[in-house]
């Protein structure tokens, strides 16, 4: 096993955030993220623009991560990078950069699954944050994913439920768009929901068996509801925005908590960790706290900077693989270390 004095540079570029981080063992030294404003006016991520922005951002972001960490590149033991899942053009920028960087320094290159990283982000040492113990359930909720995963060990995971159509973050963003809000609308819906009545309007919950999710029906019912009401009163949205947001949030949280309750019952595991951009949602955080008090669950919500896409979560997976010797040593010369858009857990 390599000695426990490991510096890892991590690169994340799977979607629209260019990110780099440096970890010393399981502790974060820096975690730099460059977001991409360019997508805002299109109401969603434009893949071609994303990869172009990654190309512009990657060098300064890595430079900043090393500078903030206070180390030089020669002190690095390995380079970890997101190999998938994600947008192919975006992934390729990070992958190519990581490969050449590792090759230049003659150090190992470690490929990381983005979805595993959202889950294993809980193992970055942070004051005031407990690490889950195995086994636990992880729910990854973001603009690109909605999964419930049974985690038996760092690299022993099984997806036991996932969305059949839209991701939960898309449900938030598309609802927000119908209401005339800018992209990404999730945080704004969350904020306004806190000021409205959650039972003012009733939206149907999808009837999906087992632990899978569906969010596309909800979006359609919100669209029809808004169209119907604005025909009667053109100022309907303006007059009722807070109540509409609160009702949407109430419905989404009900869907999520129903599935989590089912997953806990089915597996007998009552430790629940969440990750992904939507885990910043105040309603979900509150519902999990209530579940602790009501049903004795133990829940884990990551530090805010590890909820949305970031490279520190890639770094912790890199570190865990490095100490287990689980990486293609000097794999950068081989073709098996590459980007995979549809990588599974
Ligand atoms: O993990 P993330 O940064 O990127 C990926 O999609 O992978 O997640 C972004 C998503 C967006 O859909 C955004 O609207 C949603 O997370 N989001 C929220 C909140 N904060 C971010 N949704 C609901 N409530 C929030 N507070
Ligand atoms: Zn993500």
Domain ranges of the chain: 7-122+308-336, 131-301
Kindly report the protein residue whose alpha carbon is nearest to atom 24 of ligand 1: 281
Q: Domain 131-301 carries which CATH code?
A: 3.30.420.40
Q: What is the pLDDT of residue 3?
A: 53
C-alpha span between 308 and 21 (Å, rounded): 14
Ligand with smallest separation from the Cα of 276: 1
Q: Are 12 and 310 in contact (CB under 8 A)?
A: yes
Nearest CA to ligand 1 atom 23: 186
At 42-51, the pLDDT tens digits run 677 777 777 7
* Residue 332 pLDDT: 45
Candidate CATH numbers 3.30.420.10, 3.40.30.10, 3.20.20.70, 3.30.420.40; the one for domain 7-122+308-336:
3.30.420.40
Q: Do domains 7-122+308-336 and 131-301 have the same CATH topology?
A: yes
Q: Which ligand is nearest to the CA of 36?
A: 1
What kind and span of H or E run contains 253? Answer: helix 236-267
Predicted confidence at residue 1, as pLDDT, reads 46
Query: Residues of the chain whose pLDDT is less than 70?
Result: 1-3, 39, 42, 326-336
296 CA → ligand 2 middle, Å: 29
Give residue 328's pLDDT: 60
Instruction: Using DSSP bridges, classify how beta strands 109-113 and 18-24 pair: parallel, antiparallel or unpaired.
Output: unpaired
Q: In what order do the strands lie in the sheet with 271-275?
A: 156-162, 146-153, 136-141, 271-275, 298-300
Which residues form ligand 1's pocket by a CB distance below 6 Å? 15, 142-144, 169, 172-173, 184, 186-187, 190, 276-278, 280-281, 308-309
Q: Which one-letter DSSP state was computed for residue 299?
A: E
Residue 287: enclosing H or E segment and its boundaries? helix 282-295
Q: Cα 130 vs. chain centroid, distance in angstroms?
A: 19
Other CB atoms within 10 A of residue 130 CB? 10
Task: Output the CA 329–ligand 1 centroid distance in Å.
Answer: 35
Q: What ligand 1 atom has the least distance to the C-alpha of 184?
A: 14
Q: Is the pTM of this model over 0.85?
A: yes
What is the distance between the alpha carbons of residues 318 and 255, in angstroms, rounded to a whole number? 34
| Ligand 1 atom 10 nearest Cα | 143
CA pair distance 90, 99, nearest whole angstrom: 15
Cα(314) to centroid(ligand 2), Å: 11
Nearest ligand, CA 144? 1
């Amino acid at each position: 096993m390599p000695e426990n004095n490991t510096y890892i540079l991590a690169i994340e570029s799977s979607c629209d955030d260019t990110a780099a981080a440096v970890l010393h063992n399981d502790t974060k030294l820096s975690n730099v993220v460059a977001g991409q404003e360019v997508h805002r006016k299109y109401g969603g991520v434009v893949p071609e623009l994303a990869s172009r922005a990654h190309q512009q951002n990657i060098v300064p972001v890595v430079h900043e991560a090393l500078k903030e960490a206070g180390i030089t590149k020669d002190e690095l033991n390995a380079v970890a990078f997101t190999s998938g899942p994600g947008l192919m053009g975006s992934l390729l920028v990070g992958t190519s950069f990581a490969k050449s960087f590792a090759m230049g320094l003659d150090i190992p290159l470690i490929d990381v699954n983005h979805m595993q990283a959202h889950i294993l982000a809980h193992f970055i040492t942070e004051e005031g944050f407990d690490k889950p113990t195995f086994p636990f359930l992880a729910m990854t909720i973001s603009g690109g994913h909605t999964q419930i995963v049974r985690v038996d060990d760092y690299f022993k995971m099984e997806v036991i439920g996932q969305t059949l159509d839209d991701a939960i973050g898309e449900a938030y963003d598309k609802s927000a768009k119908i209401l005339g809000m800018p992209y990404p609308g999730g945080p704004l819906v969350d904020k306004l929901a806190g000021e409205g009545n959650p039972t003012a309007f009733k939206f149907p919950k999808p009837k999906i068996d087992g632990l899978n999710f569906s969010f596309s029906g909800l979006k359609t019912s919100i669209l029809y509801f808004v169209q119907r009401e604005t025909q009667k009163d053109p100022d309907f949205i303006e007059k009722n925005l807070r109540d509409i947001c609160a009702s949407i949030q109430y419905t989404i949280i009900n869907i999520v908590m129903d599935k989590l309750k089912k997953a806990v019952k089915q597996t007998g595991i009552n430790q629940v960790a969440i990750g992904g951009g939507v885990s910043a949602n105040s309603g979900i955080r509150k519902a999990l706290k209530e579940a602790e008090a009501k049903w004795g669950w133990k829940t884990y919500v990551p530090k805010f900077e590890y909820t949305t896409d970031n490279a520190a979560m890639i770094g912790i997976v890199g570190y865990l693989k490095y100490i287990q010797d689980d990486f293609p040593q000097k794999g950068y010369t081989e073709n098996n270390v590459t980007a995979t858009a549809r990588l599974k857990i």
